Structure formats: structure tokens, C-alpha cells
Structure 1
Amino acid sequence: MNQKYLDLIEFLKTLEPDVEKFYTKGQSAAGTRLRKGLSELKKLAQDFRNDIHC
């Protein structure tokens, strides 16, 4: 498989603890970390998308 795809999936898995903490325990700090992580995920996805587009 493509390494960028694997990196994207692996990064998404790292966000899981903060998703759990935010949605089940209501920890606002986890929400902040999650938003930051999702911004990084967007960058990784855009980079992967550019490879496909070109």
C-alpha cells in the first residue's frame, strides 16, 4: 500500500484516545487536542490527495 495512506490511517488511530475522552468524559482539553490533530490530519490528507491528482 501507499506509505502516505498508511501514515494517514496511523495518525487517525492516534486521535482515538482524545475522541474517547472528549465524547465520553467531556474533557475540553481533549477537544482542543482533537481539533489540533484534525487540522494536521487535513494537511496529511491534502498531501495524499495531491499525489493522486497529479
Structure 2
Amino acid sequence: MYTCNNCDGFVTRDFVRVFGDSDDEVFGCPSCMNMREVMNGAASRPSAVTE
């Protein structure tokens, strides 16, 4: 099962494949980012994680 590294929300394998990094990790998802940020690549950057 895949989860968002920012909010620990569930993400699908397809979401990780499309929006994640080369290590199959995502640092944002629709639960903690808006879709514009996700579509612009913020989900694949660790620096996008907000605390």
C-alpha cells in the first residue's frame, strides 16, 4: 500500500507511478495539496512537504 509522505494519506499505485519520484515516493497528494501543485510536480519533490 502506498501513502503520501506528507499526510500519510492513501495514494494509488497509479498515482505514485504518474506523480511520484523515481523511488516510488510521493511528497504530496490531493488530500494535502491542490491539484495544480500536484500537476506541476510538487508531489515528487521532498521540499514540497510542509510541516
Report the TM range for the smaller structure's normalisation: under 0.3
**What's the TM-score, normalizing by structure 2?**
0.23
Q: Name the larger-Rg structure.
A: 1
Higher helix share: 1
Higher strand share: 2
